[in-house]
Structure formats: structure tokens, C-alpha cells
Amino acid sequence: MSKNIFSTSNITLSKSAVRQNVRFVKKQLADNVLLSAVLKGNAYGHGIKEMVSLFETANVKHLSVFSTQEAAEVCEVKKKSTQVMIMGWMEDEETEWAIENEVEFYVFEMGRFETAVHFAKKHKKKAKIHIEVETGMNRTGFEDSHLKEVIETMQANQEFIDFVGLCTHYAGAESITNYLRVVDQIQKYNEIYELFKENNLVPKRRHTACSAAAMSYPETQMDMVRIGILLYGFWPSQETFIAYQKSNGHGHDGLNRRVKHPLKRVISWRSKIMSVKEVPVGEFVGYGTSYQAAKKMKIATVPVGYAYGFARSLSNQGRLIVNGKRVAVIGTVNMNLMIINVTECKNVSKGDEVIMIGSNGKVNVSVASFSELSNQLNYELLSRLPMDIPRRVVI
């Protein structure tokens, strides 16, 4: 963007927060468990390229993405030694690009497998594959009825494949309501692993765990974990956080002093006041009649609306920080802007900073607080942050 053209909002990413979160996650892992940082969804909205180098600086050596497109973005900036894994979408013929670039990828159906073997033969280079198996989520993964064919194809093509991983994904490890389903999945995975072993097919890494599984079901950590949300400084759910607190002194140390929260939010999102005006008592504010001034008010506009990542469902609900005070969104969030109630803010004027996610040192607005209000998960709100908001790394 030209030097004289400004974005309506800005994102900063904290290097020290990434370090702290990586340190915390590694402390939860058993020895020799490899940490793969999940970078899908534009690194949970943080910015994929920026996050690659932040994770590398924090000594993370394995990165997971959803698609070939994301893998290509990572490959543009990553260190040679950092390993990339595609967990989801690839056109079958993109396995050629992955093989040439030594990118690992999931295989969960025969078409992709056969194409991968074809290109591995063509390039005389092994395809680095992770066989994903169905254990009960019913999303992707080879079902039982396909395992015989998978095993035979692997045995017949051993010189063209590098069996890097055997993997699966849990159907909601962040909620106790899914306990029995997750436990059944763990058992099923272990049975399938045994079946592969009996056929002399031993993966280099068994991996099944996301953030919630790694925290709440430590036996799922196996040889590698695929961690997203925790590394960005958020808990997968309140339940996961409370379970952690319960087994860690309820947030207190041995001397009964409150310990600092172990995770630190990486992202801050800020904008500026666009205009300030007064509204007489009884007037409606913004489109329609969803907000009526109960007294004479001072309102301000902020140039961030639902087209810029601030959900419309936060209408009359969202909270922001202006001049150290928490203020409320009033009326409906528009496409390009929102209106906030600054009646209680002294001396507020055009150009003053507005914090949508972050803190001013004392007051804090977190994604968790407003995603609960809007009934969205942290995951959704973060990953919907538009890619073109400028991102800047800070210490």
C-alpha cells in the first residue's frame, strides 16, 4: 500500500507472546513429541507469512496447513529445514508440486494416493505421506473397508512412498459432551495402528491431537501434535481452560499466590475514531430502530464494519476500548463502520485510538469476550479477519 494511503485498521503480532505460548505448549508435551504449529485459515487470521517466521524464531520446526495454496505461501518464506504438511485440500495433480518440494501431505482417498505414486515414480522421489484414517469423526479418512487396499498399495509401492504419518482427528475434544466419542476414537486409532504394524508398515509419526486433545487426553500426544489455537494465545474452550486450572492448583502456586495466565494473546487489532457527534434524547442511532438514545449521548464512528472483520452479530453487543475505557457498540454494525457510545469518555476526538482486540495496559478486550457475545468461536472470528489488514510484528 502507498505510503500516503492508510488502512482503516491495523494488526500487530507479538513476538514475545508467540515465544511464551510455544514454551507453554512444549511444557505440556511428553518428551520427544514433535510440535507442529497449525497455520491454516491465514494462521487463524493472524497472517500466514508473518506467523511462519514468528514460529521459526520460537524454534518450531514443523508447520501444518490446510491446502496447497497455503503450503506454497509458507514455502515462499520458510527456512529450508522447516517441514510443511498439508492436511486437507489438494488437487490430485498438485501432489507433483508437493513431492518436488518435499512437502508432506495427507492421503485419505485412493485417487490422491495413486496420483502421488505416479509422480513419485516420475520424479524418482518419495512422496511424504500421512495416511489419515476414519475413527469416528466422519469427515475425511480411510474407512475400515478401504484399509486392505491401502495396505496392499503401500506394500507394493514402498520405494515410492515415505510413510511419515498415520493420523486422525477428534470430533470435539474441547467438550466433555464428546468424551465417549473421543475415547472410542482413540481406541479405534490404536487398533488401526496395530493393523498397519502387523503388515510391517510403521509410520515415523503417529499423530492425532489438536490443542484440546493434547491438553485433556495426554495419551493422544503420541509422536506429534498439531496445535493451533493455543499457540495464538487462546483456549480451545472454557472447559479445556478450567480442566487445566483444576489440575494446576486452580491458578495458584504453592504459596497460594495467583500465577500469571500461562498464555498470551499474539494479536492486537486497532483502528481510530472517524468522527464524534452528539445525539439528542429519544433519537434512534444508525439503521433502523435497534438503538434509541435514553439520554443525550456522545457517539463516535469507527471505520471498521462487517466487511472488515467485525461481525454484524456484534451489533448492540460488541465492546471496544477508547482512551482506556471499555465502550459499547450501539446500533447495527454496518458494512464499513460501526457506531460506539463514548458518552462516558472525556475529551474523545477524531483520530483517537480504538482497540478492537488487545489492551491498553489496564483494560482488556479479548476475542473470547466478544466471540461469546456473538456466539462465534475464537476460531471463526479470528480467521475471518481480512487478509489485507496490514500486519506488523512487535516485540
Minimum CB separation of residue 64 from ligand PLP in Å reads 7
**How far apart are alpha carbons 305 and 341 in whole angstroms?**
16
Is the CB of 96 or the CB of 134 nearer to ligand PLP?
A: 134
145: CB partners within 8 A, 6+ apart: none
Give the residue from 118, 111, 102, 109 showing the smallest Cα distance to 62. Answer: 102
Region of 92-100, 227-235, 350-358, 366-374 interacting with ligand PLP (CB under 6 A): 227-235
Decide: helix, strand or coil at residue 85. Answer: strand
146: part of which helix (H) or strand (E)?
helix 144-156
Is the CB of 228 or the CB of 262 nearer to ligand PLP?
A: 228
**How far apart are alpha carbons 304 and 310 in whole angstroms?**
7
Task: Name the grid cell of 129.
Answer: 505421506
- Burial class from Cβ neighbours inside 10 Å (0-12, 13-18, 19+) for residue 299 reads buried
Is the CB of 273 or the CB of 357 nearer to ligand PLP?
A: 357
Residue showing the smallest CB distance to ligand PLP in the complex: 228
Minimum CB separation of residue 58 from ligand PLP in Å reads 16
Contact (CB, 8 A) for 62 and 74: no
Kindly state the number of chain residues that form the binding site for ligand PLP, as judged by CB under 6 A: 11
Can you say how many angstroms the Cα of residue 145 is from the centroid of all Cα atoms in its chain?
33
Count CB neighbours of 355 within 10 A. Answer: 20
Contact (CB, 8 A) for 208 and 186: yes
Give the residue from 195, 266, 185 showing the smallest Cα distance to 15. Answer: 266
Minimum CB separation of residue 141 from ligand PLP in Å reads 10
**By CB under 6 A, what part of segment 135-154 binds ligand PLP?**
none
**How far apart are alpha carbons 304 and 333 in whole angstroms?**
9
Backbone angles phi, psi at 70, to 5 degrees: -65, -40
**How far apart are alpha carbons 192 and 135 in whole angstroms?**
9
Position 226 contacts ligand PLP (CB under 6 A):
yes
**How far apart are alpha carbons 174 and 228 in whole angstroms?**
13
Q: Using CB under 6 A, pick the residue from 33, 38, 65, 348 that binds ligand PLP.
A: 38
Position 227 contacts ligand PLP (CB under 6 A):
yes
Position 90 contacts ligand PLP (CB under 6 A):
no
Region of 75-83, 220-228, 251-259, 365-373 interacting with ligand PLP (CB under 6 A): 220-228
Is the CB of 213 or the CB of 345 nearer to ligand PLP?
A: 213
Is the CB of 228 or the CB of 305 nearer to ligand PLP?
A: 228
Task: Name the grid cell of 293.
Answer: 438514545
Is the CB of 226 or the CB of 270 nearer to ligand PLP?
A: 226
**By CB under 6 A, what part of segment 331-360 binds ligand PLP?**
none
Minimum CB separation of residue 303 from ligand PLP in Å reads 30
Minimum CB separation of residue 211 from ligand PLP in Å reads 3
**Cα angle, residue 78 at apex, residues 72 and 80 outer, rounded to 5°:** 105
Is the CB of 224 or the CB of 355 nearer to ligand PLP?
A: 224
Count CB neighbours of 256 within 10 A. Answer: 8
The strand pair at 34-38 and 9-14 is best described as unpaired
Is the CB of 87 or the CB of 342 nearer to ligand PLP?
A: 87
Minimum CB separation of residue 236 from ligand PLP in Å reads 5
Q: Using CB under 6 A, pick the residue from 86, 161, 210, 279 that binds ligand PLP.
A: 210
Residue with cell 495466565: 261
Position 211 contacts ligand PLP (CB under 6 A):
yes
Region of 186-194, 223-231, 337-345, 349-357 interacting with ligand PLP (CB under 6 A): 223-231
Position 236 contacts ligand PLP (CB under 6 A):
yes
Q: Using CB under 6 A, pick the residue from 169, 206, 265, 270 that binds ligand PLP.
A: 169
Region of 92-100, 175-183, 204-212, 247-255 interacting with ligand PLP (CB under 6 A): 204-212
**How far apart are alpha carbons 78 and 180 in whole angstroms?**
39
Minimum CB separation of residue 185 from ligand PLP in Å reads 13
Is the CB of 151 or the CB of 229 nearer to ligand PLP?
A: 229
**Residues forming the site for ligand PLP (CB under 6 A):** 38, 87, 169, 210-212, 226-229, 236
